[in-house]
Structure 1
Amino acid sequence: MYVFSIEHTSSNMVRSVGRKSAYLGELARSGIRVPWGFVVTRAAFRRFMELVRGEINEILRGVNLDDPTDVRRRYETVKDLIASKEMPLDIHLELEQGLRTITSNFVAVRPTITSPMSGPSFAGELDTYLFVEKGEIEHYIKMAWASYFNPRALAYRLASGNVAEIAVLVQEMVEPDSAGTAFTIHPVTKDPNVVVIESSWGLGQAVTKGLVTPDTFVLPKRDRVVKEKIIGHKHLMLKYDPKSKSVVEVPLGGKAMEPSLDNVKAVELANLAIRIEELFGRHVNLEWALSSNKLYILEVRGVRTTWEDL
């Protein structure tokens, strides 16, 4: 099979469906809310690469990684090549079946590395696409595959020696009221007895890309109450603009110093984080979103200082 629904993935399938998909599958099957979707497996990536590998090798032959212009030019050529190829019929038919389960107007298309939590993460090296229209999903799956050859990913593979391949996760797009991260160990002091939540308005990339100073909540695991709350200056939010069909920065004005998460939801999120920590048996870093008063878990990672295989 080339396509699995999220609920049919698990942590023992990492090398087929990738980290993001496998760990979200564990959460979904445990009754934790994650955006619905499906994963296009590493086997599909390999199947498609059979069609273009020779041409890609020729394009990249003699690439000078010390010359950003040369690397970028070759990557753009690889992207054009991959975009021009038809999706193999067997993969196309399974994608059509997966698309029938999607009920939202937009999806997120997210490449995911097929190596365990203890291995290199490729965090930020591959290209994620948000607010993709259903009719464009095949194209953006191919663009996610193409990002395996982008300048960042090429340099990372050479530096780390890791040649793990990728799968692609397709999920219904959640447009959050607020979003951010949560750690089940303090990311600075390494105190394992607290949950630390970072939150901001709109899409969580405002937090993960460091575009704002997020709100911070610290909750002891024993008491599960907000012990410390620092309201950050969240001068902008990221939001999808249907006119430009892109994610844009929206100035917040007076809302910048309003809390983006209330104490009740902070406690609910901390309880979720602790539950997920117990599920995997190790400290975790979560990406989450709050939409229509419902919390969604978007990603789960191991904390770098305590990596172990899942």
Structure 2
Amino acid sequence: MRVWKTWLVAAASGFLCNLAGVASAAPPDTTQVERIVIPYAVGGVTDLYGRLLAEQLQADQKLPILADNRPGGGGAIGTAFVAKSKPDGRTLLLGSVGTATNPAMIKALPYAPGDIVPIAQVAISPLILYVRADLPGDINQLVAYARQSPGRLTFANSGVGSSPNLAAALFARQLGLQVTHVSYRGTSAAINDFLGGQVDAYFDTMQAMSHVRTGRIRAVAVAAPERLADAPDLPTLDELGVHDVHASSWWGIFVPARTPAPVIQELQGRLRKAVENQAVRQRAREMGAVAIYRDQPAFQAFFESEVKRWNAIIAAEHLSIE
């Protein structure tokens, strides 16, 4: 496995030589984050948002932070690295839906679920059902198309157990449809084949709306309880009679278990400050995400609810990662 590591620092002559002097000027009683582990490959919203967050935290602490891509195992390899790291607040994990679902899908999980703890949610992005431009954009016609020949409606996803995969599985189960899931290694490959017409449908974030505007794909509905502020004319699936198909991509920060409470509290304050920065919010919006902050109790409850509901789908669909 190749590990990609990118130092998020401005290139400047002599910076590394002066790093020791900068470090000595840092307050000795504060936690200096050294890396944010992104358990997926370079590219895609998770990677981009992780780098954005690292940049903002780095600007706050005035010391470099490594955006450390450690892909593999559906995110399990990077998660295991954090789980086994020293619990001192210096190594953070940018977790996602996979963090909630991997324990149910990976038999030889390289860490125990209790080895990491969620401390703050930092972004969310409700998914939208998109279809090829030559397929019906009307939900009833789309369902009729799928029922005419069971299995012919194909759904792209960025990997087994990914948000798009789970959303498509939930959608099909709610409607009693037989569909074919086509799994790719990452978001870029999935969206490229979808835009190329090799796959019929895809649950993706707001980011794909740019292709709707150019006529390459259609947006059918949003898989959320409410309409999106950036797409007010797009109905929800609930409005169209497809109830309780709610799915989103989300991101949160996890740390090794046994990280001291004072360290977690300090990190939470800095994460809140970063997420509430207007430049961060705008750049997140451009990625198709909404920068939000949920503290540990709220994020813990949300995380546990994600584990419970997606585990039911994983069991019903017999999803697994080898």
Q: Which bracket does the TM-score occupy, shorter chain normalised?
A: under 0.3
- Relative contact order, higher structure (CA 8 A, sep 6+): 2
Structure with the largest fraction of strand: 1
